[in-house]
A = this chain, B = another copy of it.
Amino acid sequence: MAREQEFKITPIGGLGEIGKNMTLFEMDGDGFLIDCGIMFPANDMHGVDYIIPDYRWLEERDDIRLHGICFTHGHEDHIGAVQHVVRSFPKVPLYATPLTKGLLQVKLKNARLLKQTTVHGFEAGDDLKIGPFDLETFRVCHSIPDCVGYGIHTPFGIVVHTGDYKFDNTPVHGRKTDYARLASFARRGVALLLADSTNADKPGWTKSEAVIDTALDKVFRNAQGRIMVATFASLISRVQQVVNAARAHKRKVCITGYTMSEYAKIARKLGYLDVDDDILVDLGRAKQLPPHKIVFMVTGSQGEPAAVLGRLAGGRHRQLDVRRGDTIILSSHPIPGNEEMVYRTINRLIQRGADVIYDAIEAVHVSGHACQEEMRLMLNLTEPKYLVPVHGEIRHLHMHAKLARDNGVDKDNVIVIENGTTIELSKRGVAVGDRQPGGYVFVDGSGVGDVGRAVIRDREILARDGFMLVSVNVDHVSGKLVDQPRIISRGFVYLKDAEDFLEQIRDNITRVVNGNRRANGARSSMVEDSLSKLIYNETKRRPMIFSIINEV
């Protein structure tokens, strides 16, 4: 008997947000991906630069032909892993709206991969044919222009994937959500909705980006000196709003930092950033202008010490400094885990004399994601038979699920899954399938995936208590020490201030080595055990301890 036909959907990634960074859609041996973004490391993922979805199992599958990678929008968590995916699947074409295509091309160019792949552009609203799959695209609003969601035709009804969205009725670029298309999906029958859950714990309606115009106008009106606005490089519509405010208040704009400049350049070229030539100035010119005539756009709104704002806060920027009278706007909200660094940056900027405006003070930032009322609207517009909440931590998915059930979706038709778990859509409805292996792939320096859990665990221990290494030379005949043990330690105690303790440690080593004539491996363990006890008793700390015994 032939296997029943199934349309399968698998969100790919580790924990963190589910169905956010990359999702596989497949049927009968054909497939395509939506998005390939990066995750940002948690505070205890020491030394990790960023994380990419673990799609190694997909590379190994020879029963599937990938026909394309479709993008929803140009934020890092949706496009940031493109260089890795293009290297893994070099023949698979990319599909994106013009701005997203432009940003993808910047990334591919930086990775010297521009010629290794094809990026097909399309306009929001276009229909796409990806291998055997028919996709309809529909415009949604978010905090970057040119965002789309996808309506995917399957034999079992339409699967709607919202991407990141909110229902902004006064978006910065005037291009509104494609309500008509969403409603038409409902008419034609939505089998399954995959919808953004980010703000599932927030009641009401996310404010329009338009409120930021009012807040910026107020701040610009009150500012006497220079203005600096920090935001994400990819928040193109925010850059537009700052440019508009600058124009209204007769200030020039200086965009600092490589990525933000590159993104602004491509957005301008493609018509997504409306800014006259005479408004933009370079840093050299900007520094010569009177303070009330200039706005700097900077990166570092998440408190990253190495970004422009972080360096300004620490007094470590080579060309710019923060002075009394400066007004600094953080047009952003801390990503969970970054709060401490963001507030520390703000405190340091205030210490340097700046007036710092952030979203708790004025509406200089709004979320790019739907709140509860918008989630209800999305359900009511699309009338899905099944809902799989995506784009959120587990707690958000569960709240979205509850909201959907309360809103009338059949209790059993709301399905919460984690990354790696396959959803199977067939004529019998939706079922939960297998779980694929995989989790995080850490990128650290130039290494992809070579730093695993074991290394991170060692870093955790080293971070907590450091290490101590002792090296001793013993006579190969008597087995006794021939000179003083050498001790190397970092991150444990400051040894120069601990001479007495060091003496105790040396005595301990000497006693153990000279008192036990064993094989060096066994003696080495004895030294480590004995030191470990001594150190714990004296300090209540557990540094990593190593010993090397040399016969001379």
Contact = CB atoms under 8 A, between A and B. Distances in A.
A451 B494 CA distance: 7
Contacts of A532: none
Given A455-B466, A458-B466, A465-B47, A450 B395 contact: no
A363 interface: no
A459 interface: yes
Interface stretch (A120-128, A173-181, A383-391, A544-552): A544-552
A541 interface: yes
Contacts of A455: 466, 491-494
Contacts of A460: 463
A350 interface: yes
A336 B343 contact: yes
Number of copies: 2
Nearest to A361: B201
Contact of A541 (B445, B462, B486): B445
Contacts of A360: 201-202
A2 B7 CA distance: 91
A491 B552 contact: no
A337 interface: yes
Contacts of A473: 550, 552
A494 B450 contact: yes
A461 B490 CA distance: 10
Interface string A20-32: 0000000000000
Q: How large is the interface on A (under 10, 10 to 19, 20 to 34, 35 or more residues)?
A: 35 or more
Given A337-B339, A488-B546, A347 B394 contact: yes
A466 B466 CA distance: 10
A377 interface: no
Interface string A329-358: 000000011011001101100110000100
A428 interface: no
A519 interface: no
B466 A469 contact: no
Contacts of A344: 42
Contacts of A284: none
B539 A446 contact: yes
Nearest to A446: B540
Contacts of A541: 47, 444-445, 447
A464 interface: yes
B337 A340 contact: yes
Contacts of A418: 351
Given A337-B339, A486-B548, A398 B446 contact: no
A544 B445 CA distance: 15
A393 interface: yes
B540 A445 contact: yes
Contact of A43 (B43, B350, B351, B486): B43
Given A337-B340, A548-B486, A395 B346 contact: yes
A459 B46 CA distance: 11
Given A459-B462, A463-B463, A541-B445, A494 B452 contact: yes
Nearest to A492: B455
Given A361-B399, A459-B466, A473-B552, 16 more contacts: A43-B340, A46-B464, A46-B491, A339-B339, A343-B393, A343-B395, A351-B394, A450-B494, A454-B494, A455-B491, A458-B466, A458-B490, A459-B462, A461-B490, A467-B490, A550-B550
Identify the 7 closest CB pairs spanning chains A and B, nearest first: A445-B540, A463-B463, A337-B340, A462-B462, A459-B491, A47-B464, A46-B463
26 contacts: A42-B340, A46-B464, A46-B491, A202-B360, A336-B339, A336-B343, A339-B339, A343-B393, A347-B393, A347-B395, A350-B395, A351-B394, A444-B541, A445-B540, A445-B541, A454-B494, A455-B466, A455-B494, A458-B490, A458-B491, A459-B466, A460-B463, A461-B490, A462-B466, A490-B544, A551-B552
